[in-house]
Amino acid sequence: MATPTPADNMYTHTPSAKLLRFKPRSFLVDGNMPLFPAAKRDSVTVEEEYVVLLSNRVPTDTV
């Protein structure tokens, strides 16, 4: 089994549909239903990738 990451410790499961239907306000007030729940991933392990954007022009100085 993988070692838990800091993101795993912050993850909040989404409440069941029945609870969301009858108690959405209390979940939002208590902080048990975040608007954007944390994902179960460790962003530290993601490698940086650089992308070079070039203009879509054809060179005008052809020799």
The model's pLDDT over 43-63, given as tens digits with 9 standing for 90+, comes to: 666 677 777 777 666 666 655
Q: Are 51 and 15 in contact (CB under 8 A)?
A: no
Structurally, how many domains does the chain consist of? 1
Domain that includes residue 40, residue range = 1-63
On average, the pLDDT of the chain sits at 65
pTM of the shown model? 0.22
